[in-house]
Amino acid sequence: MNDSKKQMKLSVISGLFWKFAERMSSQLVSVVVTIILARLLLPSDYGTVTLVTIFITIANVFVNDGFGVALIQKKDADDLDFSSVFYFGICFSVFLYLVIFFGIAPVIAVFYNMPILVPVLRVLALQLPIASINSVQQAYVSRKMIFKKFFYATISGTLISAVIGISMAYFGMGVWALVAQYLTNTIINTFTLRTIIQWRPSLSFSFTRLKELFQYGWKLLLQSLMVTIYGNLRSLVIGKVYSANDLAYYDRGSYYPNLIVVNVDAAMSSALFPAMSHEQASIERVRAITRRAIKMSSYIMSPLLVGFAACGTTFVSVLLTDKWLPIVPFLQIICINLLFRPAQTASLQAIKAIGRSDLVLKMDIPIRVFGLTALVISVQFGTIYIALSEVLVGILGVILYSLGCRKTIGYKLKNLYWDFVSNVLQALIMGLIVFSIGYFVHVNHILLLLLQISVGAVSYIVISIICKNSNFYYLLNTGKEFLHRK
């Protein structure tokens, strides 16, 4: 291996290490916080905030996506590019906030017949201008691949916001405890990252540079907007057609499996896209990075998702109390759907990295059309069927993204599918063992949960050794190499 390839490998490993450390630590705190808040708050409180955060998430797409990705992908992005995006983002986010404050908030409150949505949406939307500042900072950190900075910023925001949210919930402030937690997290994260990175915007602006970045970024912005709206459309429909409690059960059932995916998927995306962008001139290198990413992320993610689904009832009963048991079917269905995510993510990052943002948009349109059709049909039968329709969309997504990956970087379909299916099969064997323990062993629920987790971890390692899974040994060797380097 020559020096440049070795250096890139070490950069990717270092990036993955710090992104995993950031995601795992922050999400560990988040899990503890959500468990405490779930005990203190009512499902209806979560249902209210879920509706509001959906609209904030959609608005954030305009603020965060498109230009940020373009800054990372552009080979010769300089301070003028970053400063132009910085100032444009602030102006646009303030405009967007005013639209929400005076126009969208009252309309949404009337549509859902929930007056509380007006003040909640107006306060929570304050994070938009702050997020616009942070998006440029994050692009700078990602481009430089100094992911250790993310770790410090995320931990600071998560811990401080956790204390504020729990304190307010304890004193009976209900929905405002969640609002304060979300808003504080964004503020502290942005402020911390700003103090520990060297970049500052210069007093310069160029419409020409902004236009160049927009030519690449608008397709990804539109694609991200479609994904975000589509991803939250089910919650919007449930909130309108069914009750706030139904929405809370669906949302919490999706939340916990997605915590697993956020830890692995976000780390992979953040570390891989800059690395692939650096290597975009070599299709072979991009293909090699993509294949390794699919193998490793599916090897890590599959047992976590399958194991979580197998012990979901015990988990909810022990940590969230029995009032949240209705989320279990949603939790299990979402775990199944997310098994396809590693192949989707790595394929998407590869296609974006070589500059084919147009292909990303073309692939995404039929996926969303199919998803909308499935939603229209499933909403007539109940919330469980709405969740099941997501599985079908996930299958279609991995098929289309894999076709795009074959077209752009020559990643053969049989290799791509086997690279993640083989890991899923091993995880399913482990899942059967974990589920059997829950079915046949009758002990205290806390002991049962600990037993299921322990047996699941040990059995997956044993299965990996028996099957001579190369990913297991790659993880061991990579870990040793990284520790030796440190």
Q: Looking at residue 22, what is its pLDDT?
A: 60
Same domain? For 129 and 172 the reply is yes
Same domain? For 314 and 403 the reply is yes
279-292: b (≥16 Cβ within 10 Å) or e: bbeeeebbbebbbb
Task: Report the number of secondary-structure helices (H) and strands (E) in the chain.
Answer: 21, 0
Same domain? For 1 and 50 the reply is yes
Our count of domains for the chain comes to 2
Same domain? For 211 and 266 the reply is no
**Domain ends where: 223, 239, 255?**
239
Same domain? For 89 and 232 the reply is yes
**Domain ends where: 239, 263, 298?**
239
> What dihedral angle (degrees, nearest 10) is formed by the CA atoms of 41, 44, 46, 52?
-140
DSSP 288-320: HHHHHHHHHHHHHHHHHHHHHHHTHHHHHHHHT
Contact present, 69 and 142 (Cβ < 8 Å): no
Check residue 78 and report its DSSP letter: -
Same domain? For 168 and 99 the reply is yes
**pTM for the full predicted model:** 0.68
Q: Looking at residue 384, what is its pLDDT?
A: 93
Parts of the chain with a pLDDT under 70: 1-30, 65-66, 145-147, 262-282, 353, 355, 357, 478-479, 481-486
Same domain? For 384 and 425 the reply is yes
Same domain? For 251 and 235 the reply is no
Same domain? For 231 and 249 the reply is no
Same domain? For 132 and 26 the reply is yes
Domain range for 37 is: 1-239
Same domain? For 276 and 158 the reply is no
Same domain? For 211 and 319 the reply is no
**Domain ends where: 210, 239, 268?**
239
Q: Looking at residue 10, what is its pLDDT?
A: 54
